[in-house]
Amino acid sequence: MLELDFMRMAFAAGSVVGLLAPAVGFFVVQRRMSLIGDGIGHTAFAGVAFGYLVGLSPVLTALVAAVGGAVAVEWLRARRGTAGDQALALLFYTGLAAGVVLVSAAGRFDAGLFAFLFGAILTVTTSDLVLVAVLGAVGLATIGLLYRALAGIALDEEGAHVAGVPVALLNVLLAALVGLTVAISMRIVGILLVAALMVLPVIAASRVARSMRASFLLALALGLASVWIGLTVSYYGNLAAGGAIVLVAAAFVLAATAAGSVTRGRVPAR
Amino acid sequence: MTPAIELHGVDYAYDGGPPVLRDACLTVEEGEFVAIAGPNGGGKTTLLRILLGLARPAAGTALLFGEPAHRFSRRATLGYLAQRSRLGTDAPATVREVVSAGRLAAGGLLGPLRAGDKAIVARAIADVGLEEKADAPLATLSGGQQQRAFIAKALAAEPSLLVLDEPTAGVDPGAQESLARLLERLHRERQVTVLYVSHEFGAVENVVRRLVLVRGGIVFDGPPSDLPGAWHDPSHVHA
Ligand SMILES: Nc1ncnc2c1ncn2[C@@H]1O[C@H](COP(=O)(O)OP(=O)(O)O)[C@@H](O)[C@H]1O
Ligand SMILES: [Mg+2]
């Protein structure tokens, strides 16, 4: 299958997303904000619709909407403390409703929209791939540079605050990375499923790993494996790629849960 | 010498709530070892948050080493163990990973930890007697061992001020005693100023020379031997 141009493109773009989504998702899950990717996906949808309406590149407008939405949620969460949940709900529904209204205004309830909602990895073009690769590399490099800081905040946010770590700034940066990830993953797994690829490999990894670093690296490996296996299955079975990828990731969670309960039995519980 | 901590006439209330602290005054010199006790809800945690600059008093001033606490410029030298510290993560962090997080501000935010910082982390782990467990996931340790790991995390900052909020809560009495002895030894060896909140302060009574009782303000400040007899159990303070 790799002799086919479009499959090579799909694997290349998918690999970037398979690494970036769990890398960003790792810190989101540790902060118990697993559903933020979903909310951001809905603002990205509004961005796509706005792009249609005014004739700009939907990926670009989605990028702006997703990053802006993510930063807004983080700002609301930090300002309003416990209302993070409600801030997310507001974003989620406003984004979805605005998206639907804008799409109808643009008269674009069509296959192109479908591609953004559910992914259209087999139609990835060279310019898509370049965008995914460049933004993905920026995202991964940022995570690599800030791994220790983000992990430290995940472990003990208040302690980091007392020590003078710029917690608020790093939280906003993480939110922006969530937005970036949603925007570039959209063409691969689709707006409705991108959050799954941010969260499921991380959950699977945390079930079996014995350290935070091992958990992080395993999550990346599982994200990559989900994309590769999912794409292969979808190619030979003629199935929707985004759905196949996420189902593989979900299977990893089940397998890791089973394996984890076996290994955990030997460890003294706390 | 500038005191490590100065609170002058501090009042505090949470949004729309009743006053939690009234006219609290406290001065702690560098190198002191002070235990803070008092009933649940007495305002101990609130007092710590104010003196660390995490909360601003409604009235009065809070100084850290002579600077306004909320604008303190050498935060990397503060070691803080929050109440009921537990990991804010589901990832299986090891003791070394937790303690390394305490080196975050002092060791720089970007890139991997440098060799010198790793040595400081290793020393902090050794200081609390967890060398053998250094690479074990925290969840596999006993409650007392986990508290030791969190104390090591605070130590990794090589702090000039170590503030611990109920580090012995939920730990069995034997482990409480040994934690108190550990803190006293660290205070002596590292010459660090220690502020130690203990709900059950029986364990520190023999260790500290100064005890502060907090109950809506500071109701006692002096050597434990000066405590009125009826006050000896801080959970039954009737001020
Ligand atoms: N975040 C908060 N919002 C509102 N009230 C609070 C908050 N934190 C503590 N309080 C109240 O302030 C009082 C003092 O609490 P605290 O400082 O935690 O006491 P202690 O640490 O001595 O148990 C209690 O009555 C408590 O209910
Ligand atoms: Mg308290």
pLDDT tens per residue across span B2-37: 999 999 999 999 988 899 999 999 999 999 999 998
How much is the pLDDT for B89? 66
Same-domain pairing of B97 and B207:
no
How much is the pLDDT for B239? 40
The pTM of the full predicted model, rounded to 2 decimals, is 0.88
List chain A residues with CB under 8 Å of B100. Answer: 148, 152
How much is the pLDDT for B143? 82
pLDDT above 60: residue A268: no
Q: Considering only residues 154 to 173 of chain A, which have any Cβ-Cβ distance to chain B shorter than 8 Å? A: 154-166
Number of structural domains chain B divides into = 2
pLDDT band per the 50, 70, 90 thresholds, residue A168: confident
How much is the pLDDT for B21? 93
- Final residue before a domain boundary, out of B110, B132, B159: B159
Residue with CA nearest ligand 1 atom 24: B41
Same-domain pairing of B80 and B54:
no
Asked if A152 is an interface residue toward chain B (Cβ–Cβ < 8 A), one would say yes
List B33's β-bridge partners, or say none: B194
Of B11, B12, B14, the one to substitute when testing ligand 1's pocket (max ligand atoms within 8 A of C-beta) is: B14
Domain containing A88 equals: 5-190
Angle between helices A36-54 and A194-208 (to 10 degrees): 160
Scanning every residue of chain A, which has its alpha carbon at the shortest distance from the alpha carbon of B142?
A270
Please check whether residue A80 lies inside any domain of the structure. yes
Please check whether residue A147 lies inside any domain of the structure. yes
Same-domain pairing of B116 and B64:
no
ipTM of the complex: 0.86
How much is the pLDDT for B91? 75
How much is the pLDDT for A269? 39
- List pLDDT tens digits, range A73-87: 888 777 766 556 777
pLDDT above 90: residue A187: no
Atom index in ligand 1 nearest the CA of residue B197 equals 21
- List pLDDT tens digits, range A85-135: 777 788 788 888 998 898 888 887 777 788 888 888 877 888 888 888 999
pLDDT above 60: residue A154: yes
**Mean pLDDT for chain B?**
87
- Final residue before a domain boundary, out of B103, B138, B159: B159
Number of structural domains chain A divides into = 1
- DSSP assignment of A111-122, as one string? HHHHHHHH--GG
Give the CA angle between residues B229, B230, B231 to the nearest 5°: 90
Higher pLDDT among residues A57 and A79, named by residue: A57
Task: Please give the single-letter amino acid code of residue A185.
Answer: S
Which of A142, A211, A217, A257 is the mutation pick for testing B, counting most B CBs within 10 A? A211
Please check whether residue A128 lies inside any domain of the structure. yes
The C-alpha atoms of residue A134 and residue B150 are separated, in whole angstroms, by 40
How much is the pLDDT for B88? 67
How much is the pLDDT for A230? 95
Which pair of tokens denotes residue A139? Answer: 């995202």
Please check whether residue A98 lies inside any domain of the structure. yes
Specify the CATH number for the domain of residue A59: 1.10.3470.10
For chain B, list residues with pLDDT below 50: 234, 236-239
Scanning every residue of chain B, which has its alpha carbon at the shortest distance from the alpha carbon of A162?
B75
Same-domain pairing of B99 and B55:
no
Same-domain pairing of B81 and B105:
yes
- List pLDDT tens digits, range B91-123: 789 999 999 999 998 888 898 899 999 999 999
Q: Which residues of B touch A (CB under 8 A)?
A: 52, 54, 75-76, 78, 80-82, 85, 87-94, 97-98, 100-102, 104-106, 109-113, 135, 137, 139-143, 146, 153-154, 157
Ligand nearest to the CA of B36: 1
The C-alpha atoms of residue A78 and residue B217 are separated, in whole angstroms, by 29
Question: For ligand 1, is residue B45 a contact (CB within 6 Å)?
Answer: yes
Percentage of chain B lying above the pLDDT 90 cut: 54
Atom index in ligand 1 nearest the CA of residue B83 equals 21
Ligand nearest to the CA of B16: 1
Atom index in ligand 1 nearest the CA of residue B43 equals 17
The C-alpha atoms of residue A240 and residue A235 are separated, in whole angstroms, by 9
The count of other CB atoms within 10 Å of the CB of residue B230 is: 9
Domain containing B219 equals: 1-73+164-239
How much is the pLDDT for A267? 45
State the smallest CA–CA distance between residue A101 and chain B in angstroms. Answer: 39
**Mean pLDDT for chain A?**
87
